[in-house]
Amino acid sequence: MALRSSGGVTTVHEEGTEPMKLRDRVALVTGAGAGLGRAIALAFAREGAMVVVNDISAERAAGTVAEIETLGGQALAVPADVADSGQVRQMFARAVEEFCTIDVLVNNAGLFHAAEIRNMEDEQWKRMLAVHLDGTFYCTREAVRIMEARGSGKIVNMASICGTAGLGLIAHYSAAKGGIIAFTKAAAKELIGKGIYVNALAPGFVETEGLRGSTTVEGKALSDFIQAVFGTIPLGRLGTPEEVTPLAVFLASDESSFMVGQVLSANGGQVI
């Protein structure tokens, strides 16, 4: 046996094995029923975390929980619309009832569709900002109320390169992600004195069912849009969830003990 200290936390592990980075932590991941959120939830479970799986779809949330349990992990499905502050409060209450606390929050819930500015409807704009930006705020507010009492916590906000560089046909998405980046920086400055670390991930385009299932403004498959995106990525391909999840694990773990208000971006060189 050997002792290993990381970020003030000492763990015991077998010689020759790498200790789990999130052992005994409780992590709440929003939008974890599919795509990148699901991949992050599974990665956290593999690192020893107990995972609260949120999704607006109860069926999708239950599916991710079943996968985590197959891995031998612990998880709880809590369906909720993060754009509804009342549902968010109930979600956190249920998570604390089950696991007593929240150590890590990943604000990942989102949606993606394209629309030209001149044709964009009020509800398209409002819903995009509500899910991404309001949802990030509502969940962060509830998490802070739990974390500050313990004097520790990690919050990871999912932004995008669209929030740093912008992209045509998704101005509403770009605006929402840009707001998340600004919120991350402000929250980090406010909360680090309470022992709460706030950082963000701003990945490029990642191959998920959500991206492939989206439609263009003409209602056609997104293949033409994706092909155009390929041309702007020096690496020449979309990313995979597995190329982003290690960054989420890093920011959620003690290894990121000197990371405050930062935006990490895996994007194949699309934004440098």
Mean pLDDT of 174-199: 98
Mean pLDDT of 69-78: 98
Catalogue all structural domains in the chain, each as residue range(s) with its CATH number.
24-264 (3.40.50.720)
pLDDT at 229: 73
Higher pLDDT, 226 or 85: 85
Among residues 99, 112, 173, 197, the one annotated as catalytic is 173
CA dihedral 135, 141, 143, 145 (to 10 degrees): -160
How does pLDDT run across 111-164, given as a tens digit for each residue?
A: 998 899 999 999 999 999 999 999 999 999 999 999 999 999 999 999 999 999
pLDDT at 135: 99
Whether the pLDDT of residue 2 is over 70: the answer is no
Whether the pLDDT of residue 221 is over 70: the answer is no
Q: How far is CA 180 from CA 28, 103, 198, 262, in A?
A: 18, 20, 11, 12
Sheet architecture: strand order including 50-55: 75-79, 50-55, 26-29, 104-107, 153-158, 196-201, 263-264
Neighbours of 228 (CB within 10 A): 11
Percent of the chain, pLDDT > 90?
A: 79
pLDDT at 9: 39
Whether the pLDDT of residue 178 is over 90: the answer is yes
Whether the pLDDT of residue 216 is over 60: the answer is no
Indicate the pTM of the whole model.
0.91
Is 173 in the active site?
A: yes
| Model confidence band, residue 209 (pLDDT cutoffs 50, 70, 90) | confident
